[in-house]
Amino acid sequence: MSDQEQSGTRKMTHQRKMMLKSLMLNKAREDLKRETEEKAEEKKAALSKRLQPLGDLLSMSQQDLMDLCRDLHAKIDKVDEQRFDIEGRVKKNDQDIEDLNQKIFDLRGKFKRPPLRRVRMSADQMLRALLGSKHKVSMDLRSNLKAVKKGETKKEDAEVKDWRDNIEAKAGMGGKMAVFEGKE
């Protein structure tokens, strides 16, 4: 007797593994098929309970058809209201689940840090984001500047007679120092 036979375990051959795998896949396919058929039957049963047969529409009078349409519209409105209420409850439950998950993360001390991206923003956009969109913010820098009288600067320029005289006065090291120190 070998060691494998004594321990009670045998090594499975490749063919046996493939055969078992194919049998398991076939069984899973059958189960899925049966499950989809059962769901289809349940759906038909539920619809047959909820839906009423309309009867012979060709033999109905116009007034009967109008009454039938009104009833159908009323039922549609009722179902639509129920759908809207259920959607509201689902959204509320999703928000509650998200809040509870956030509390769990807070209690554990592990925080998810979202990756931050650089965003280019102008000064107007930054102030609008800080102050809100209701406050009109404008960065008109010229309005905040001190007013300068233009007439006085023209008089100083008029005193300079000839540009050549001005260049000769600034020529040499003494002239450059005068320009640097602000003297003329």
| pLDDT tens figures, 128-155 | 777 776 656 555 666 667 777 766 555 5
**What band does 178 get if pLDDT is binned at 50, 70 and 90?**
low
Alpha carbon distance 23, 27 (integer Å): 6
- What is the per-residue pLDDT for 32? 96
> Is-contact 175 169, C-beta < 8 A?
yes
**What band does 54 get if pLDDT is binned at 50, 70 and 90?**
confident
* Residue 113 CA to its chain's centroid (Å): 17
What is the pLDDT of the chain when averaged over all its residues?
79
Q: What's the CA angle centered on 47, arms 44 and 52, to 5 degrees?
A: 130
Would you say residue 173 has pLDDT above 90? no
Residues 6+ apart with CB under 8 A from 114: none
- What is the per-residue pLDDT for 116? 79
Question: Tokens 């046996």 label which residue?
Answer: 16
Q: What's the CA angle centered on 65, arms 60 and 69, to 5 degrees?
A: 150
Give mean pLDDT, residues 57-73: 90
Locate the domains of the chain by residue range: 63-110
